[in-house]
Amino acid sequence: MDEPSDTAGRRARGRPRAEPKSGDMPTEEQILEAAGEVFAEFGFGGASTREIARRAGLRQPSLYHYFPNKAAMLTVLIERAGEGSLAIFRKIDALQAPAAVKLYRAAYLESRMLAGWPDYLKVICQLPELRQPRHVHFIEIRDRIIAWYQKTIADGVAAGEFRTVDPLFVGWLINGANEAIFDQAPITPRLDPESHARAVAGFVLNAVLGDPRQFDSIVVAADLSGGD
């Protein structure tokens, strides 16, 4: 039987691997990388723990000493992916800077991070299973990302930095621009993270900026602000 448990979460570390692989990556990390590749190639429903174990260099029973089932592996991968964006926002929030600087810096750093992800992670973020109740945390993470952009844009509108726009709608547009990275992953060459990030952040700032003449000075201030 391929999946002995439906309970998400990780078990304590257990048996050593059956066929050690080269490199210093911990066993759990090799399992997650193998799982991501299998999910991207076969979809969640078509992925088997047998194939994940094979790619990780483990016997299948040993896999369950690290994760109870493949749903737990997907949960960890998605939570890590979302935490990357939220960590960026926490650092940006600590800056003493205008909303326009924060918006550009956040859009730049998040887009650069996403463009640099391995292709398998971009693909699995589009899995239809992530819209199911068992993966409600994925929707919650997405909503927190959109809410951060919404608040930052609302602050900029209130301060007169941005023209009058619907902050929630613009937040969704930014999220959609970033999710386009996931759509392209299987069919296009790997994006250059730096140039992609500059393009997305520039588009976002130009879309809301009240005085376009301020664009260059805001980009310079954002580049000097840190937050990464």
The C-alpha angle 181, 185, 188, rounded to 5 degrees, equals 105
Note whether residue 6 is domain-resident.
Answer: no
Note whether residue 30 is domain-resident.
Answer: no
Per-residue confidence band for 11, with pLDDT thresholds at 50, 70 and 90? very low
Note whether residue 118 is domain-resident.
Answer: yes
Joined together, the tokens standing for residue 39 give 């999910």
Output the pLDDT for position 211: 94
Whole-angstrom distance, CA of residue 120 vs CA of residue 124: 6
Note whether residue 17 is domain-resident.
Answer: no
pLDDT tens profile 103-140? 999 999 999 999 888 888 888 888 888 887 777 888 88
Joined together, the tokens standing for residue 181 give 């990275």
pLDDT tens profile 66-102? 999 999 999 999 888 889 999 999 999 999 999 999 9
Q: Which domain holds residue 182?
A: 74-225
CB-based burial label for 213 (10 Å; 0-12, 13-18, 19+): exposed
Note whether residue 84 is domain-resident.
Answer: yes
Phi-psi region of 29 (alpha: psi -120 to 50; beta: other; left: phi over 0): alpha
Residue 203 belongs to a domain with what CATH number? Answer: 1.10.357.10
Whole-angstrom distance, CA of residue 90 vs CA of residue 94: 7
pLDDT tens profile 124-182? 888 888 887 777 888 889 899 999 999 999 999 999 999 999 999 999 999 888 887 77
Note whether residue 128 is domain-resident.
Answer: yes
Number of domains present in the structure of the chain: 1
Q: Contact at 8 Å (CB) between 72 and 9?
A: yes
Output the pLDDT for position 59: 92
What is the share, in percent, of the chain residues with pLDDT greater than 90? 60
Work out whether the CA dihedral 146, 147, 152, 155 comes out positive or negative.
Answer: positive
Note whether residue 169 is domain-resident.
Answer: yes
The 3-state DSSP class for residue 162 equals strand
Residue 12 clears pLDDT 50, i.e. is over it: no
Read off φ and ψ for residue 140, nearest 5 degrees: -65, -40
Output the pLDDT for position 38: 96
Note whether residue 88 is domain-resident.
Answer: yes
User: How many other CB atoms are there within 10 angstroms of residue 93's CB atom?
Assistant: 14
